[in-house]
Structure 1
Amino acid sequence: MIVITTPTGQIGGRLLDILLDEAPARGEELRVIVRDPGKLPDAVRARVDVVTGSHDDAEVTDRAFTGADAVFWLVPPDARAPSVDAAFSGFTRAAAKAFTAHGVGHVVGVSALGRGTPVAGRAGLVTASLAMDDLIAGTGVAYRALANPTFMDNLLWQAASIRDHGVLTETVAADRAAPRVAIRDIAAAAARLLLDRSWTGAGEVPVLGPEDLSPNDMARIVSEVLGRPVRYERQPPDDFRAALTARGVGDAFVDGYVDMMRSKDEGLDAGVRRTPQNASPTTFRAWCEEVLKPAVEA
C-alpha cells in the first residue's frame, strides 16, 4: 500500500497519475489523503482508497498509515502559519509518530537543495524544510528527501506579466546561473522511489534538471519560444516583500520567502554537482513550449 498526500496538487496529482498507470501491474494498492474528495475525478476515486482530512491531523494519519508500506509526503504551503517551523515540522509531527506506530517502511518527501552550504541555516523556507527532513529521518523510517532547486513552474505566476509587459522578475542577480526543475520530473523521481523500495536508511535525492540557467538565460529562451521580446528585471527584496504582503502572505512566510531568495542569490542551490543520476530530463525550453507558452497565450 502506497499512501499519497496532496493528490490534487501539482506534484501529488502528477505522481498519482503515474502510479495509477504503473502500480497495478506491480500489485501495489493506492491510498490518498485529501481534504475534499470531490476534487478527485470519479475515475480516480474508484481506483484508490480515500482517507478524508488533512495530513497534519493525528487521527487522519492514523487511519491512512494503517497497513501502509510507503508514503509520499508533501507539506502544503500555509502562508498564514505563525512560523516556518510550524508550517513544516509542526505540520509533520503527527505523521512522524504515525510512521513509527504503524511500521511504515519507506517515506519519500519533497524538500529542497541547500544542505551543507554556508547559507543553509539562514535560508528561510529551505532551512525549515531541511529541519522537517531531519524530523522524519529521526523516526528511523527509510527516508528519501527529494532535494529540489527552484521550480520552472513558478514562472506560471508571471504568465500575465510576460504576456502584457514582456517582463519576468526574480530577486537574484541576472547572471546567477542555477539549476531549475520541472515539477513533472519531481513526480517521476518520487514514483521511481516509491515503486522500487530496495533502498534503506535516510538521504537526499537531488533532482536538478539538465542545465544551469541564469534569469537572463531564461528570458532569452522565453523570448525565442514566444516569438516576442521578454526581458528580466531584478526585483529589490523590499518590493518582493511588499508584493507578498499584498497577496495576503503572513509575516512569518514573507520573511521565509525573502530569506530563501536571498540565500539562492548567495549560492544555496549550487552545492550539488550534476550527474547522469540526478539530472532530470525536462529542459527549460521544452517546458516553455509545452507549459508556459499555452499559459501565456490562454
Structure 2
Amino acid sequence: MIVITTPTGQIGSRVLDVLLDGAPTHGEQLRVIVRDPDKLPDAVRTRVDIVTGSHGDAEVVDRAFAGADAVFWLAPPDPRASSLDAVYRDFTCPAAKALTAHGVGHVVGVSALGRGTAVADRAGHVTASLDMDDLIADTGVAFRALANPSFMDNLLWQVASIRDHGVFTGTAAADRRAPLAAVQDIAETAVGLLLDRTWTGVGEVPVLGPEDLSGNDMARIMSDVLGRPVRYERQSLGELRAQFAGRGMSDALVQGYIAMMRAKDEGLDNGVGRTPETGSPTTFREWCAQVLMPAVRA
C-alpha cells in the first residue's frame, strides 16, 4: 500500500494521477490523507482509501500508516505559521513517530536543492526543509528526498501579468542561469521511487530539468512560444517582502522566503551537476507550449 499526502496539491495530485493511471499494471492499493475529501474528483474517491484530516495530526497519520509499505511525504504550506520549524519539522514529528511505529519501509519526500552548499544554513524555507529531511532519515526508514530547484509551474501565478503586460518578475539577476523543473517530472520521479522500493538507505534524488536558464532566457522562449513579446523584470527583495506581507503571510514565513530567494541568487540551486540521472525530460519550451500557453489563452 502507498500513502499519498497532499493529494489535492500541486505535486501530490499529479503523483496520485500517475499512480491511478498505472494501477492496472502495478496493482498497488492507494490511500490518501486529505482534509476535505470533497476536493477529490469523484472518479478518484471511488478508487482510493481515504483518511480524513491533517497529516500533521498524530491520530491521523497513525491510522493512515497502518499497513503502509511506502509514503509520499510533502509538508503543505501554512502562510500564517509562527515559524519555519512549525511548517516543516514540527509538522512532521507525528509522522516520523508513526513511520517507526508501523514499520513503514520507504518514504519519498519533496525537498529542495542546496544541501552541502555554502548557503544551505541560511536559506530560509530550504534550510527548514533539509532539517525535516534529517528528521525522517533518523527514523531508519529507507528515504529519498527529491531535491528540487524552482518550479516552472510557479510562473502560473503570473499568467495575468504575462498575458496583459508581457512581463514576469523574479529576484535573480536577469542573466543568472539556474535549473528549473516541471512539476509533472517531479511527480513522475516520485512515482518511480514509490513503485520500485528495491532501494535502501538515505539519499537525495535531484530533479534538475534538462538545462539551466536565466530570466532573460525564459523571456526569449516565452516570446517565441506565445508569439508576443515577453520580458523579465528583476524585483527587489524589499518589493517581494511587501508583496508577501500584503497577502497576510506571517513575518516568519516572509523572512523565510526572502532568505531562500537571496540564497538562490547566491548559488543555492547550482551545487549539483546535471547528469543523465539528475536531469529531467521536460524542457521549458515544451512546458510553455503544453501548460503556459493554454493558461494564457484561457
TM-score of the two chains, using structure 1 as the length reference: 0.99
* 1:65 correspondence with 2:62: no
Superposed, 1:166-205 pairs within 5 Å as 166-205=166-205
The answer to whether 1:127 aligns with 2:127 is yes
- Deviations 1:147-198, CA, capped at 9 Å, x for gaps: 0000000100111111111111001101110000000000000000000000
Specify the SS of the correspondent of 2:277: coil
- Residue 98 of structure 1 is matched in structure 2 by 98
Indicate the residue corresponding to 2:165 in structure 1. Answer: 165
Q: Distance in 2 between matches of 1:142 and 1:254?
A: 33
1:171–1:237 contact (8 Å) kept in structure 2: yes
Indicate the residue corresponding to 1:249 in structure 2: 249
Letter in 1 for 2:235: Q
Partner amino acid, structure 2, of 1:257: Y
1:222 to 2:240 alignment: no
For 2:55, the aligned partner's letter is H
Per the TM alignment, residue 66 of structure 1 is displaced from its structure 2 partner at its CA by 0.2
CA contact (8 A) 1:23 1:195 kept: no
TM-score of the aligned structures, taking structure 2 as reference length: 0.99
CA drift of 1:26 comes to 2.4
2:60, 2:123 → 1: CA distance?
A: 31
Distance between the aligned counterparts of 2:163 and 2:17, measured in 1? 30
CA distance in 1, matches of 2:43, 2:165: 41
Per-residue deviation, 1:27: 2.8
RMSD: 0.7
Deviations 1:215-234 (A, max 9, x none): 10001111111111111110
CA contact (8 A) 1:7 1:16 kept: yes
> Counterpart of 1:215 in structure 2: which amino acid?
G
Equivalent-residue separation in structure 2 for 1:45 and 1:239 (angstroms)? 42
5+ residue gaps in structure 1?
A: none
Letter of the structure 2 residue corresponding to residue 230 of structure 1: V
CA apart distance, 1:44: 1.0
| 5+ residue gaps, structure 2 | none
Give the partner amino acid of 1:80.
Answer: R
Which residue of structure 1 lines up, in the alignment, with residue 210 of structure 2? Answer: 210
Secondary structure at the residue paired with 2:172? coil
SS in 2 for 1:10: coil
* Corresponding position of 2:81: 81
Task: Find the counterpart in structure 2 of residue 31 from structure 1.
Answer: 31
Matched AA of 1:272? V
Q: State whether residues 29 and 48 of structure 1, in contact with CA within 8 Å, keep that contact through their aligned partners in structure 2.
A: yes
Q: Counterparts of 1:84 and 1:197 in 2: how far apart (Å)?
A: 31
Alpha-carbon deviation of 1:42?
1.6
Provide the rounded CA distance (Å) in 2 between the counterparts of 1:25 and 1:213: 37
**Misfit runs of 4+, over 3 Å:** none
Q: Which moved more, 1:10-19 or 1:23-32?
A: 23-32
SS at match of 1:173: coil
The 1-side partners of 2:27 and 2:185 are apart by 24
- How far apart, CA to CA, are the structure 1 residues paired with 2:10 and 2:262? 25
State the match for 2:50 in structure 1: 50
Summarize the alignment of residues 127-166 of structure 1 with structure 2, pairs less than 5 Å apart: 127-166=127-166
Structure 1 equivalent of residue 237 of structure 2: 237
In the alignment, does 2:272 pair up with 1:272? yes
Q: Deviations over 1:16-63 (max 9, x none)?
A: 111112234223110000001111112111111000000000000000
What's the secondary structure of 2:249's corresponding residue? coil
- C-alpha contact 1:169 1:235 (8 A) present in aligned 2: yes
Identity of aligned pairs, percent? Answer: 75
**Post-superposition CA distance 1:191-216 (Å, at most 9, x none):** 00000000001100000000000010
Indicate conservation of the 8 Å contact 1:112/1:126, yes or no.
Answer: yes
**Aligned-pair CA distance for 1:85:** 1.2
Report how many aligned residue pairs link the two structures: 298
What displacement does 1:67 show? 0.3
Q: Does structure 2 retain, via aligned residues, the 8 Å contact 1:79–1:250?
A: yes
Letter in 2 for 1:271: G
What's the counterpart of residue 261 of structure 2?
261
